[in-house]
């Protein structure tokens, strides 16, 4: 069966408190950098076997729903590529 690489970019939803992002924003400011809207999210990557890219995407969306992403707090983008 072919294998696919999946990359999930998981972000906190707008309005959800992001203490890690705030800490980074403060540290950047202390260092003299002019950054704003700093956000810290997760980058999840994995390899999976699937008959087609469409099937791989559906499978990773199931993984997201069951484990990887908390839909109350998080949003995600998914990119599937052939290995």
Q: Closer to a second copy by CB, 41 or 53: give it.
A: 41
CA-CA distance, 60 to 5, in Å (whole number)?
Answer: 10
Instruction: Give residues in contact with a second copy (CB under 8 A).
Output: 9-11, 24-25, 27-28, 31, 33-49, 59, 62-63, 66-68
| Smallest gap from residue 48 Cβ to a second copy (A) | 5
| Smallest gap from residue 20 Cβ to a second copy (A) | 9
CA-CA distance, 80 to 7, in Å (whole number)?
Answer: 7
Q: Closer to a second copy by CB, 19 or 37: give it.
A: 37
CA-CA distance, 79 to 73, in Å (whole number)?
Answer: 20
Other beta carbons within 10 angstroms of residue 23's beta carbon come to 12
| Smallest gap from residue 13 Cβ to a second copy (A) | 14
Q: Closer to a second copy by CB, 31 or 72: give it.
A: 31
Sign of CA dihedral 18, 57, 2, 83: negative
């Amino acid at each position: 069966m072919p294998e696919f690489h999946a990359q999930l970019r998981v972000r906190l939803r707008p309005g959800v408190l992001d203490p890690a992002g705030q800490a980074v924003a403060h540290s950047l400011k202390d260092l003299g950098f002019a950054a704003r809207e700093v956000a810290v999210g997760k980058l999840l990557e994995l390899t999976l076997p699937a008959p087609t890219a469409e099937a791989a995407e559906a499978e990773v969306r199931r993984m997201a729903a069951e484990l990887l992403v908390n839909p109350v707090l998080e949003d995600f983008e998914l990119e599937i590529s052939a290995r």
